[in-house]
Chain A
Amino acid sequence: MEKLIKPKIAIYDFTDCEGCEVAIISLREKLLELENRLNIVDWRLAQEKKEQGPFLVSIIEGTPITPDEIETLKWLRENSTYIFALGACASLAGIPGIVAKEEREKFYKQIYGENYKPVGIDAVPLSAYVKVDFSIHGCPVNPDEVVRIIEELLAGKKPAYRGCSVCFECKLAGNPCRLVFGKPCLGPIGQGGCNAICVSGGSPCYACFGQREDANIPALIKILQNLTSREEIERYFTMFYKHMPEWQEKAKELLK
C-alpha cells in the first residue's frame, strides 16, 4: 500500500474539564483508526512525546484563562496552519465564561481569601485572542462529529458546520417540544450536531453547539418572555452566550 502522508497534529487543553478529550477517547476503535491517519506529535493528556511545529492543525480544548495559556495559544497560532476549537470552552468560553471579568476580583477574595495572588485574567473564547479556523462545538463535543470533521479535513475538504437547528434534530429524536409545553429552550437558535441529546434526556437546551446560521435571537426572546421571567431568560442565555456580541447587544436591549 502506498504510504499515506500523516499530517502533524497537536492537541492542547487549556483551563477546562477535559470532558471533550474524554469524549474522544470514548471513540475507542474509531480513535485508533483516526490515529493511524494522523501524526499526533503533541498531546499532554495522552503522551510525553512533544515535538515542535509546524502543525497542520492544532486542536485546542478549554478556555485560555492564564497568561501562560494565552501565550501558548498565540504560539500555536503562529505554528499551525489551522486552529480548531474543541468544545464549548474553546469556542464560546463555555461554563467558565459565566464569570464576567469584573466579577473575578470579588470571587477570588471570597473563594481564596485576601492573601491569594490570582493567576487567571478572564474566561473568553480562543477567538478573543487569535483567528479560529473551525469550531468543533459542544459541551461536550459529539464524538461522531469529531470523526466527521477530521475525515473531511483529511479528504482535503473545508469542514462544514451542520446547517440545521437543534429543533430539527429534536423532532427527528421524537421529543415533545419544550417551548410548546411552556419550558424555556434555546434549541431554535442553536446549531445542530448534538442530536438533541440533552432534550432527549429531559434537560434544557442551552445551545452549546453555538448559534445556527440566521439565528433569530429577538424572536426567541419574545417567545421566552411569554413563558418565563427576565431573570430566567438571562440565566439561559448566560450559560454559554455571555461573550456573544449578539447576546450582549441585541438581547440585553430587548430584555430591558
Chain B
Amino acid sequence: MLSNEFIAKIEGHGAIHIDWDKNEAKLKVLEGERLFEGMLEGRTAEEAHWITPRICGVCPIAHNLASVMACEDAFDVKPHQTTILLRKLMLAGQMIQSHFLHLFFLALPDYVGIDRGTELNQKDPKSFKMALILKKVSDEIVHTVAGRNVHPTTTTIGGFHKIPKKSALKELLEMLKKTKTAAKNTVKLFSGLNYPQLKVNLELVSQKEDQIVSNKNADSSSIKNYKKDIEETIKEGSTAKFGKYKNREIMVGALARLAHLDTEKKSGPDYQNPFHNNLAQAVEIDLYHNQSQEIIEQLLRDGLKDTIAPKPINFTQNKPFIGIGAVEAPRGGLYHEFHFDNKGIITYANIITPTVQNLTSIEKSANALLEQFKNETQEKKKKLLEMLVRAYDPCITCATH
C-alpha cells in the first residue's frame, strides 16, 4: 500500500516522526538521491549552469547563478556592470516567485482554514487576486531577463546570450509601478496572521558581500571557507545531509537576511520565532519588488551594454581551475564549487544548499515546540509541527540534490 507519511505542501518529500513517550521529533528526508555532484563530473562549465537549475524548480535561478559565478571565479572572468544588474534583477524576481509560492500555496492555507491554495479565490478573493498579481509580475521579470519562468535560457559565463530590449524593461517597469500596492498589502496580510507563539534561541546566518555573518557571534568568516565552516553529516533514514555552521545549529533564509538588514528591529518579525519566517518572506516580497524597480530604472538610466558576450576562456594555462559561487537563494545561502581540468571539464563538484543548513534547526525548533506546547493534544501538536516545518519553507529537492 501507499505510504501516507509525506508532509503535504512542502517542496519535496519529507516526514516528521514523533516519539510521544520521549516527546521528541525527528525529521526524515525521503527524496531519492539524484547525485548531482557526481553527474557534473565530465561536464563543461556551460553545461554545469544548464544542469544545476534542475536541482530545484522553485529556485532554479539561484542555482544557475551560483554555477555561473563558480565558473567565473575559476576562470577569473569579471562580468560587466550590466550583467551584474541583470543578474540581480532576475534574482529579485526569483525571490518574489519563490516566496509567493510558499506563502500563498503552502503556508497561508493553514492560517485561513483552506486546503488547496487556489481555494483562497472563494475565501478571500481580494487576497487571491493580489497573489496572482505578484505571481504574474515575478514571472514576467524572470521571463524577460532569464528567458523562461522556470530554468533560465539566456545566461552564460561572463554575461548573457541575450539581454532584454529597452522596451521590454520599460514595460516591466510600468508593471512594477502598477503592482506596488499588491506587494505592500502582502506585508499587511502576513503581519495580521495569528502565528503560534514559539520562542527559540535562533542563530540567524546570512551571506553579506563576501562574508558569512551571524547575529549571535561576531566570528564572521569568508565565503571561501564555506566547506570548512558548514559541516554536513549523514543521518540514518534521511537522504539529505544535515548541516551545521561552525558546529552550531543555524537558521538561514528570509528571517535571517532580514535580521542582518533591519538593524533597528523596531517592528516586523520576531527573530526568535521561526514561524515569523513567513512574515519575513512577505517583507522581502515588498523589498525585492522595490529593488526590481530600482534596478530597471538604473539600467534604463545608464544604458544597456549590448556587447556582453563572454570572452573565450584560455584553458591552456598551467594552473588548477577552482571556483566557488555563492548566492543568497530564496531559502538562504547557496554554495557551488567546481574544479576543472585543463580542458575545461569538471573533475569535482560540491554543492551546499540552504535547506541542508536549515534541517538541523528545524529539528531543534520542532523539539522546542513539543516542549512549549506540551499541554496541547497530540493532534494539535502534530498539526503545529507540520506548520513549523512549512514555515521554514524547506526545499527537500534542493537538500537531496
- A17 close to B153 (CB less than 8 A): no
- Flag if A17 contacts B2 (CB, 8 Å): no
Query: In the complex, what residue of chain B is closest to A103 when comparing beta carbons?
Result: B38
A66-B161 CB under 8 A given contacts A17-B60, A140-B150, A200-B147 = no
Q: Complex: how many Å from CA A29 to CA B3?
A: 33
CA distance A198 to B281 in the complex (A): 31
CB distance from B23 to the nearest CB of A (A): 24
How far is it, in angstroms, between the C-alpha of A202 and the C-alpha of B161 when the chains are bound?
A: 5
Cβ contact within 8 Å between A119 and B33: yes
Q: Is B83 an interface residue (CB 8 A)?
A: no
Residue of B44, B54, B239 near A19 (CB, 8 A) is B54
Interface residue ranges of B1-60 to A (CB < 8 Å): 1-4, 6, 8-9, 11-13, 30-35, 37-39, 42-44, 47, 50-51, 53-58, 60
Q: Which of B131-139, B333-341, B369-377 contacts its partner?
A: B131-139
User: Taking the complex as formed, is A75 at the interface, i.e. its CB lies under 8 A from any CB of chain B?
Assistant: yes
**A120 CA to B39 CA, complexed, in Å:** 15
Q: Are A95 and B234 in contact, with the CB atoms below 8 A?
A: no
Bound CA span A51–B4, Å: 11
**Does B116 belong to the interface (CB within 8 Å)?**
yes
Q: Which residue of B lies closest to A232 (CB)?
A: B44
| Contact present for B57 and A32 (CB under 8 Å) | no
Q: Which one of A14, A21, A46, A107 lies within 8 Å of B32 (CB-CB)?
A: A14
A-B contact count (CB 8 A): 186
Interface membership of A256, Cβ < 8 A: no
B118: min CB distance to chain A, Å: 6
Question: In the bound complex, how far is the Cα of B281 from the Cα of A231, in angstroms?
Answer: 44
Which residue among A18, A69, A197 has the maximum number of chain B CB atoms within 10 Å of its CB? A18
Which residues of chain B have C-beta atoms less than 8 A from A94's C-beta? 54
Contacts of B34 in A (CB 8 A): 15, 63, 65, 95-96, 99, 123
Q: Taking the complex as formed, is A20 at the interface, i.e. its CB lies under 8 A from any CB of chain B?
A: yes
List of B residues within 8 angstroms of A182 by Cβ: none
8 Å CB interface, B104-135 against A: 105, 115-118, 121, 132, 135
- Against B, the Cβ 8 Å flags (1 = close, 0 = not) of A37-52 are 0001001111111100
Contacts of B162 in A (CB 8 A): 201-202
Task: Check: A139 CB closer than 8 A to any chain B CB.
Answer: yes
A22/B148 contact (C-beta < 8 A), A112-B241, A119-B239, A140-B57 known: no
Instruction: Tell yes or no: A104 within 8 A of B by CB.
Output: yes
Q: Are B150 and A23 in contact (CB under 8 A)?
A: yes
Judge whether B234 and A116 touch: CB under 8 Å: yes
Please determine whether B147 and A197 come into contact, CB atoms closer than 8 angstroms: yes
Does A202 contact B150, Cβ atoms closer than 8 Å? no
Closest residue on chain B to residue A115 by CB atoms: B234
By the criterion CB–CB under 8 Å, are B57 and A18 in contact?
A: yes
Contact A50 B4 (CB under 8 A): yes
CA distance A159 to B154 in the complex (A): 31
A131 close to B (CB within 8 Å): no
A223 interface residue (CB < 8 Å to B): no
In the assembled complex, A26 has its CB within 8 A of some CB on chain B: yes
B323 interface hit (Cβ, 8 Å): no
Docked CA distance A219–B388 (Å): 56
Could you tell me the distance in whole angstroms from the C-beta of B400 to the nearest C-beta in chain A? 8
Task: Check A139/B115 contact, CB under 8 A, given A17-B57, A119-B33.
Answer: no
Contact A32:B121 (CB < 8 A) given known A23-B149, A107-B35: yes
Q: Is A106 an interface residue (CB 8 A)?
A: yes
Q: Is A111 located at the chain interface by the 8 A CB criterion?
A: yes
- Nearest-CB residue, chain B, relative to A198: B153
Asked if A98 and B3 sit within 8 Å, CB to CB, the answer is: no
A contact residues around B150 at 8 Å (CB)? 19-20, 22-23, 26, 140
The one of B33, B39, B101, B136 in contact with A98, judged by C-beta atoms closer than 8 angstroms, is B39
Query: Which chain B residues have a beta carbon within 8 Å of chain A's beta carbons?
Result: 1-4, 6, 8-9, 11-13, 30-35, 37-39, 42-44, 47, 50-51, 53-58, 60, 101, 105, 115-118, 121, 132, 135-136, 139, 146-154, 156, 160-162, 234, 236, 239, 241, 397, 400
Q: What would 25 A/B residue contacts be, using CB atoms closer than 8 Å?
A: A17-B58, A18-B12, A22-B58, A22-B101, A22-B150, A23-B150, A25-B135, A26-B139, A45-B8, A48-B8, A95-B34, A95-B39, A96-B32, A96-B35, A96-B39, A103-B38, A106-B38, A107-B39, A111-B33, A117-B236, A123-B32, A197-B153, A198-B153, A201-B154, A235-B47
Q: 5 nearest interchain CB pairs?
A: A202-B161, A19-B57, A201-B153, A65-B32, A107-B38
Known: A22-B150, A68-B3. 14 other contacts (CB 8 A): A16-B397, A19-B56, A19-B57, A20-B57, A25-B105, A32-B121, A35-B118, A45-B8, A115-B234, A116-B234, A119-B33, A119-B239, A140-B150, A203-B153
